[in-house]
A = this chain, B = another copy of it.
Amino acid sequence: VTLVPSRAQRFPFFAPGAGLASGFRRIVGIMHGYTEDKDAYLRRLRKVEGQVRGLQRMVEEDVYCIDVLTQVAAVTRALQAVALGLLEDHLGHCVTSAIEQGGPDAQAKIAEAAQAISRLVKS
């Protein structure tokens, strides 16, 4: 007997995220696009956190404005790289799964991804 995961098993239900700011969808018991690389993403975000603390130190120590700005641009690029990684993983997992399943859900996922891309481009 081959057990094929049902749509319900393969697709997450959305549960209110306990411990999260309300409004975020926490996915219970399912992998996301970024789940495989979760540790790598956490490392990158901790590095970004360190860079932001570095910015605070620069302001506290009266570092020259232009040098602060150069570092702000570096942090922004690091965040953008995280976003682009998350987006590619999202396309390769969540959007791909929805398209493989077919139906209106696929179109909704693509529209949702397009809106996220638009927010990235405009941010």
Residues of chain A having any CB pair with chain B under 8 Å: 14, 17, 19-21, 24-27, 30, 32-35, 38, 41-42, 45-46, 48-49, 52-70, 72-77, 79-80, 82-84, 86-92, 94-96, 99-100, 102, 106-107, 110-114, 116-123
Task: List 19 interface pairs A-B (beta carbons < 8 Å), by A numbering.
Answer: A17-B63, A24-B67, A34-B59, A34-B65, A38-B59, A49-B56, A65-B89, A65-B94, A66-B113, A69-B119, A72-B79, A72-B120, A76-B79, A84-B118, A88-B111, A91-B95, A100-B100, A117-B117, A121-B121
The count of identical subunits is 4
Contact A84 to B26, CB < 8 A, known contacts A65-B94, A112-B66: no
